Amino acid sequence: MGAIARSGAVPTISEGPASGKHSGRVGDTLVRIRIERVSKRFATDRPDAPPVLGDFSLAVRENEFVVLLGRSGCGKTTLLNIIAGLERASTGEVRVDDAVVTRPGEGKGVVFQQGALFPWLTAAGNVDFAARSRGVAASERAALCGELLDLVGLSGAQDKYPFELSGGMQQRVAIARALALDPHILLMDEPFGALDELTRIEMQNELLRVWAARRKTVVFVTHSIWEALMLADRILVMAPRPGRIVLDRHVALARPRSRTDSALLQLYESIWASLQ
């Protein structure tokens, strides 16, 4: 786990779309995820239909919190699945820490929209499942699970089964479980999409708190503009068929952010415009 401190190298103002042209030998150690000219076509697509993703390139820096924002069907979840190694790109490649992604696992933690907790395991059991899969010794696992559940604010619920937990609590367990993999990167696919508005805001704050404690490179998919504005270091707005970036903005505002901040409101407007 390279724990390079977060440098102040992030530009404060918006940047154009990331360039896809580079050799892969560039010694830029700050880049964690490099997506190079990825396109994706499903076997069921008509041959003349535009691809789900077309010639998509992106570089994500170490510890950067990137939000992919767009309507349903713009290819953001597909992109996340390709980064996760759950789906294969039709052309192009994704590198995480300079290694080409060929399969899931290998230090890529994923949180799904519905939590995807194993219903037959308790909260602690779910976290333990991940720790055990990573090969953590049995003697250390209990302490690790306790620590992670503490971190996500679930100290009292370790013996509860998923059906006994609220949606928000289930997502907390899912986050703890992903962290138990000690991942380099954290991929989150609309993790709060199924929660009510109030729980959702709570969970956004929780995520920021956890992220402050355990810095990770995060790619977060959402279709909520406000969620993107509250969380992101960098917002990428995507448009569909072919899935592509139509807006790429850095948000260099300190957290927690206020919804009345004029810079945020301006950004909201330009994101909204880019989505039309």
DSSP 161-175: -GGGS-HHHHHHHHH
Residues 142-171 contacting another protein, CB under 8 A: 161-164
Can you tell me the distance from the alpha carbon of 35 to that of 276, in angstroms, rounded to the nearest whole number? Answer: 26
Query: Could you say which of 54, 70, 75, 109 contacts another protein (CB under 8 A)?
Result: 109
Tokens 């076997």 belong to residue:
43
The angle, 0 to 180 degrees and rounded to 10, between the axes of the packed helices 123-134 and 138-151 is 130
Among 118, 166, 197, 263, binds another protein (CB under 8 A): 118
Residue from 130, 169, 173, 245 binding another protein (CB under 8 A)? 130
Q: Residue 248 Cβ, how far from another protein at the closest point, in Å?
A: 27
Site mask for another protein (CB under 8 A), range 34-73, x = bound: ----------------------------------------
Q: What whole-number distance in Å separates Cα of residue 18 and Cα of residue 175? A: 29
CB-nearer residue toward another protein: 106 or 261: 106
Rounded CA separation 121/115 (Å): 13
Residue 153 to residue 151: CA distance in whole angstroms:
5
Contact flag: residue 129 with another protein (CB under 8 A): yes
Which parts of this chain interact with another protein (CB under 8 A)? 84, 86, 103-106, 108-110, 112, 114, 116, 118-122, 129-130, 133-134, 161-164, 178, 181
